[in-house]
Structure 1
């Protein structure tokens, strides 16, 4: 084993990655906007090869060849994920009328603010202004350093929370695979008990290894795997729901959970909290606005990117919303007000057991990679920040060359090993302590939806379009923002209450 000290310019962590932002780290800790760096949150969705030909303009010499259809595909692939599995439960809290309508409302408001975001890609003019290739760059250009720092904090909180959420979701799927095999062999009345905590430790150990692989989130095959896996388990959930509903007829009620003291009824406050938590789960399914500008940055400049992106967003969000409603309503029709919190893991479906296992395996494979997509930007930011402030630290900068059995060389960095291992350990520990799928999904949705999907796009639009204070448009935009803020606050309160309540009855490592 040999050792060497890597100069800062050659250390990936010391590259220009000290930015408060997502998808690309564009705003450094001093609030200065710098050049694009190597860490790209959306490489799982955007093919970098599409940026190597054509599409040059005076502001940015990066070639771009993306079209409306490639952008539409990226939007759909980016949006559909594990959040779709909680929608049957969310609709069951509201019923046949309000449930689908609220999903439509989330889709509509998300499209409305996404249109504003498309115009914010260039500033000050939406067609001739300077490109802002990431969400954070657009916030910086339109709103300044103070807003972009607040936005960065929220985004890193969301990234960290999503890693915790993915650990919880994956462990539920791993447990479901074990239990499905057990039920198939022993019968549906068998106990088949196991502990989620051990599956979380196994998932954490896996991520511990993958976290040490440089640029894991940029591997070209990851985008293909993510697309195939997410479509597979979502499609299987939809198909199983339709089949079960067809078997016994559709279930459910117009108003969802009934209020009262009888069997199957809940108290008014419990109903309100459940509905608010369901709103958070729906918000989580629509929390994707931060990647839209990065997708737009792949488009050719003629015709104008904002016009093409608006069409792509309309098609993408419409397709996704219809798919969400289909999966949610199929699950609700299958189970009625007893719809499981996770369509694939709470054993609404026992058979065909192999298909349920396959769907959960697809989810596990998807989230193993997705965890890194969300963790790598956090790694890059912290490593870049520490590297700038401790340029003479051997612990931070020294690399050891390890020759691997197959002949390649791995550059072991002790700081990277310690920090990344600690990050994975903390997310795993929090998941073990709080393994509550719907409550955590609701809280993550509440944290990310209003500020990142609603507030910042509206603020950027008001600045770019020069909306006058006190005008009708100004009042309308602020009313939309205020209503969405109230919804997400209610979702946050309900999710936190649910976490506290469930924590009283939960013991880690128990069956």
Structure 2
């Protein structure tokens, strides 16, 4: 939601810069856009199994390809206009408001931002549920799809990050499409940000639907005779019940308010990426693989897997430390609902 707030506000700012000039402040509150996003998610959250709609992944892929391509092309164009690469291989320069300690924290936070991209692994199982029954088997389809998608995403995101830094150097914004390193063509920026908003509307549901299902299954098992929980009626694609309507709406409202309270996007993303990366993306998959394949303890294979897990744990801890340091710095000038 915090991500969507910046995207919606960025569309309005891009149009403002185009109309009033690039040096105009063009400040506006993004909170109304957050409220609209929350209302939309309240509606979509009432659709049963929204995360298992087969075309949802196709829409997400198209949207990702759209905004990533636009960001990459604009970065290349800016680099060409500059006549060469900006910045350096060692990153942001020390001085001009950046101390050696701050550079270390920022470097560690960058690990968290990169780790956040690995959150795709959490929804792989949800995507697999949309794959038709064999032949071919779901395992073969998902293995091939994962290899292609991870390779494609890595290439695109690495190119976007590298070309963004090459285009702006030390002045590179934390987000190419909302930080306004680019101002024109404004309509192209609008297309990119609309694509991200559409992507995030579905992504929110994909991440939340498993939580919704878990809570509702637990409630049904705990109070099997409750009409408040069990009674359900359908209106078009919606399966409505008082319990689902109440608790899902409350959850969306809570996350909306939390997003409105957080004005520092990059720091929070880094922290979330750092906290979730090792346990969800590395530790549990490795332990499941060890059990499934009966990998013998203290064998070479087992030791290599544990070394990989330990190395990724260190990355998570370091990234969390850097992100926490930046969050603390942001809190010093924090004003609630300042977005």
Q: Do they fold alike, i.e. is TM over 0.5?
A: yes
Give yes or no for contact 2:2–2:259 (8 Å, CA) kept in 1: yes
- Which of the residues 28, 39, 43 maps onto 1:209? 43
Distance (whole Å) between structure 1 residues aligned to residue 183 and residue 135 of structure 2:
52
Distance (whole Å) between structure 1 residues aligned to residue 13 and residue 135 of structure 2:
54
Q: 2:226 — aligned with what?
A: 393
Written as runs of structure 1 = structure 2, the 5 A alignment for 1:163-178 is 167-178=1-12
Deviations 1:341-385 (A, max 9, x none): 111001111000111111111111111122111122211111111
Question: CA distance change for structure 1 residues 375 and 323 in 2, over 3 Å: closer, same or farther?
Answer: same
- Which of the residues 252, 266, 283 maps onto 1:455? 283
Give how far 1:293 is off. Answer: 5.7
Partner of 2:119, secondary structure, is coil
Q: 2:104 — aligned with what?
A: 272
Question: CA distance change for structure 1 residues 290 and 399 in 2, over 3 Å: closer, same or farther?
Answer: closer
Whether 1:508 aligns to 2:331 is no
TM-score (norm 1): 0.61
Deviations 1:437-493 (A, max 9, x none): 211221221122211221122223333444333333333222211111011011122
Q: 2:185 — aligned with what?
A: 352
Whether 1:289 aligns to 2:124 is no
Q: 1:65 — aligned with what?
A: none
Q: 1:422 — aligned with what?
A: 250
Give yes or no for contact 1:280–1:444 (8 Å, CA) kept in 2: yes
Whether 1:227 aligns to 2:61 is yes
Question: CA distance change for structure 1 residues 376 and 306 in 2, over 3 Å: closer, same or farther?
Answer: closer
Distance (whole Å) between structure 1 residues aligned to residue 337 and residue 216 of structure 2:
33
Give yes or no for contact 1:197–1:508 (8 Å, CA) kept in 2: no
Alignment: residue pair count:
337
Question: CA distance change for structure 1 residues 252 and 196 in 2, over 3 Å: closer, same or farther?
Answer: same
Q: 1:257 — aligned with what?
A: 92
- Please, which moves more after superposition, 457-466 or 389-398? 457-466
Question: CA distance change for structure 1 residues 466 and 211 in 2, over 3 Å: closer, same or farther?
Answer: closer
Deviations 1:288-325 (A, max 9, x none): 23444666785887888767765554444333222222
TM-score (norm 2): 0.90
Partner of 2:177, secondary structure, is coil
Between structure 1 and structure 2, the one with the greater Rg is 1
Q: CA RMSD of the aligned region, Å?
A: 2.6
Task: Name stretches of at least 5 consecutive residues in structure 1 with no aligned partner.
Answer: 1-166, 403-407
Give how far 1:274 is off. Answer: 0.7
Distance (whole Å) between structure 2 residues aligned to residue 291 and residue 201 of structure 1:
26
Question: CA distance change for structure 1 residues 409 and 348 in 2, over 3 Å: closer, same or farther?
Answer: closer
Whether 1:378 aligns to 2:211 is yes
Partner of 1:435, secondary structure, is coil
Instruction: Point out the structure with the larger helix share.
Output: 2
Distance (whole Å) between structure 2 residues aligned to residue 169 and residue 473 of structure 1:
40
Give yes or no for contact 2:67–2:192 (8 Å, CA) kept in 1: yes
Distance (whole Å) between structure 2 residues aligned to residue 456 and residue 443 of structure 1:
19
